Amino acid sequence: MEKNIAGSVSEQLELKVSASEAWKLFGGLEFAEIVRQALPDQISKIVVLEGDGGQGTILQVFYPPGGPATSKEKLTVVDNEKRVKVAELFEGGYLDFGFSTFRYRWEVIEKEGSENECVAKGTIEYVAKDENAAALVSGDALVAILNSAAKYLLTK
């Protein structure tokens, strides 16, 4: 009998902007474009199917040829007070590669003692059906997205 494997991968990056300024990006729909720009070889476009960027918003992610055609994810948490956003895949993408659960969690954390710095944290939480699927999870995409967001915020 196969055993499900639950796990998570996290990456974080210090940003040289206030937490409220960073959250304007991470908490909004503009963040989808940052993700696409950070991963041009992995994502060709992201379309909002439903919603305004708040909880319940549904996004469709389109991939280049060679992998899954698309995936759909729903923003299950958008907490502007705690600065936390969670997107959960509900169709396609990693779910077609042996995962029963796959979600992205983004947090912006105030840096104590500094009004103009914060920490952005990205986490992938998953339940894989076996070790082969679990081996597909990497923090590399999180690093690329965090770096892209940092660059965007500094040039804004």
What's the token pair of residue 88?
């959960």
Is 85 noted as a catalytic residue in this protein? yes
Give CA–CA dist 13/120, Å, rounded: 5
CA 93 to chain centre: 13
Contacts of residue 104, defined as CB under 8 A and 6 or more positions apart, other chains included, come to 73, 86, 87, 122, 123, 124
* Inter-residue contact 109 to 83 (CB < 8 Å): yes
One of 24, 45, 74, 85 is an active-site residue; which one?
Answer: 85
- Contacts with 78 (C-beta within 8 Å, 6 or more apart), sequence order: 27, 53, 54, 55, 57, 84, 85, 86
Q: Give the active site residues.
A: 85
